Amino acid sequence: MPSLSAASPANLVRLLALRAAEDPTLRLYHFTPSDPALQAERTPLTLLGRARSIAQQLTARGLRQQRVVLLFPQGLDFIDAWFGCLLAGVLPAPAPMPQAHRLARLLPRLRGIIEDARPAAVLTTPEGLAFSAEVGGPPWLALQAEDDDVDCPLEDPAPDAPAQLQYTSGSTSQPKGTVLTHRNILANSRSIQQAWGFDRQSHSVVWVPHFHDDGLIQGILQPLFTGFPCTLLPAVDFVARPVRWLRAISDHRATHSGGPNFAYELCTRKVTDEERRGLDLSSWRLAYNAAEPVRVETLDAFTLAFSPSGFSPGALTPSFGLAEATLLVTGRPRPAGPRRLDVDARAFEREGAVRTVQSGAAGARAWVSCGTPAPGVTVHIVDPTTGSSSITSPKGPC
C-alpha cells in the first residue's frame, strides 16, 4: 500500500479524509488507561465520522472562524474535538484539564490561556463544566460526538491558514501562544517522519499529554500522517506505575516512544527487578529524550537497567524542539547511541570556552548531543553580541 504522505495533502482536513479513504480500518488510536472499562479506539473512518458530528455542532453554534479552548482529559474525546474544530474552520487551543490535587497551579495557567486567546467558547466534557464558575470567561460547552456520520460539509483551509494555537507550559512565565498553520504542521510532520524513521510498519506508544506540542504533533498527528497504529495511555498512569509505559511497548511490539529525561529516571528508580523480567523491549528502535536537559547519567543508568530486557542503547535519541518551530528541530538516531562530550566546566562558565577533558576528570561536565537538524530544518547559531551566525544544515554536526 503506498504511503499517503507522498500525496502531500494541502491541509490536515484533507489528510484525515484521505487516510479514511485509503485505510479506513487501521487501528489508528488505541487508548489503554488502567481502567479497562475506559479503553477505546479509533479508526480513521470512525474518527472522521465523530469529528464531522462535532463540526456540525460547532457550526450550528456560530463558532466558525472563531477560537476555542479545548479542555479535555487525555483520551480519544480530545482527538474527536480537535479534528472537529478543523473540519468546522474553528481554531483550537488545547489546555490542561484541571485536577483536584493541582488546582493551585493549573487554574492560573488556564485563566492565562483564556485571557490571552480570547476564545468564543471553551469546549470540554460534562465533568469539565464543573470548573466553569471558578475559571469564568466565555461560554463553556460540553459537546457529545455521535458515532454515526453526519452530513456536514468539510472546510478546505488554505495551507497557510491557522490550524492550532499552541501554548507553552507557563512553568517560568505566563503561557505564550504560537500560531501553527496547516503548512507548519504538515512540514514538521514530514521532518519527524524522515528524522526518526517512521513508516507503515511502525507502532508508537504515547503518554505525553496532548496539550504539549510533543504529545499532539508527534504523538497524535504522526500516526495519522504516516499511517501506523498508536497506543495511548494517560500520563497519570505512567507516573503512578512507570512499568505500564514499558509494558505497553513490550506487549504491542512498539518501535517508537519516548519522553522527557525524568521519564527514564523514573523507570530506572521505580521499575522493580521482577517487573523487568517480564519485559521484552527488543522492538523499541527509537527512544527519544527531549523537553528537559538530557543527563548522560540517566542514559547510562537506563541502558544498564533495561539492556537485559532487550533494550538497545543505540535506540536512545536525545532531541530538541520548541513550539515556535512546530516541534522537532534536532534529533536523529545514531547506531552507536548518543554522542557525549566532556568539557572543562570552569572554563566554560568563566570564559565561554569549550575545552574537552577526559571523562571523570576533576571539574569535567558531560554534555549530550541532541543530534543533527531534522530534514528540512536549518539551525542558525547566532552570537548575541555581534549578530553574526553560523548555519547548521541537516547533514552537519550539532
**What is the end-to-end Cα distance of the chain in Å, rounded?**
36
CA pair distance 262, 388, nearest whole angstrom: 35
Q: Is the predicted pLDDT of residue 341 greater than 70, yes or no?
A: yes
Specify the range with the lowest mean pLDDT, choosing from 40-44, 327-331, 355-359.
355-359
- 301 within domain boundaries: no
- 145 within domain boundaries: yes
Q: Measuring CA to CA, how many Å separate 179 from each of 138, 164, 293?
A: 21, 6, 25
Q: Residue 256: helix, strand or coil by DSSP?
A: strand
- CATH number of residue 65's parent domain: 3.40.50.12780
Which is it for strands 320-321 and 121-124: parallel, antiparallel or unpaired? Answer: unpaired
According to the model, what pLDDT value does residue 397 have?
Answer: 43
Which helix (H) or strand (E) element contains residue 163?
A: strand 162-167
> Across 138-152, 171-185, 322-336, 378-392, which has the greatest mean pLDDT?
322-336
Specify the amino acid at residue 47. Answer: L
Q: Is the predicted pLDDT of residue 298 greater than 70, yes or no?
A: yes
Q: Is the predicted pLDDT of residue 107 greater than 90, yes or no?
A: no
Q: Is the predicted pLDDT of residue 7 greater than 70, yes or no?
A: no
- 211 within domain boundaries: no
Cβ–Cβ < 8 Å for 242, 268 = no
According to the model, what pLDDT value does residue 173 have?
Answer: 63
Which is it for strands 320-321 and 316-318: parallel, antiparallel or unpaired? Answer: unpaired
Please state the domain count of the chain: 1
Cell numbers at residue 54, please? 462535532
DSSP type of residue 356: B
- 122 within domain boundaries: yes
CA pair distance 83, 70, nearest whole angstrom: 11
Q: Is the pTM of this model over 0.85?
A: yes
- 344 within domain boundaries: no
**pLDDT tens sequence across 37-93:** 999 999 999 999 999 999 999 999 999 999 999 999 999 999 999 999 999 999 999
Specify the range with the lowest mean pLDDT, choosing from 25-39, 55-69, 241-255, 340-354.
340-354
Q: SS3 helix, strand, coil % of the chain, rounded to 5? A: 40, 20, 40
Dihedral sign (CA 298, 301, 302, 303): positive
Cβ–Cβ < 8 Å for 214, 94 = no
Cell numbers at residue 9, please? 495533502
Residues in the chain: 398
Domain span including residue 84: 4-184
Specify the amino acid at residue 218. Answer: Q
Banded pLDDT at 228 (limits 50, 70, 90): very high
302: nearest Cα among 331, 281, 278: 281
Banded pLDDT at 359 (limits 50, 70, 90): confident
Which is it for strands 121-124 and 162-167: parallel, antiparallel or unpaired? Answer: unpaired
- 46 within domain boundaries: yes
- 198 within domain boundaries: no
- 76 within domain boundaries: yes
According to the model, what pLDDT value does residue 1 have?
Answer: 34
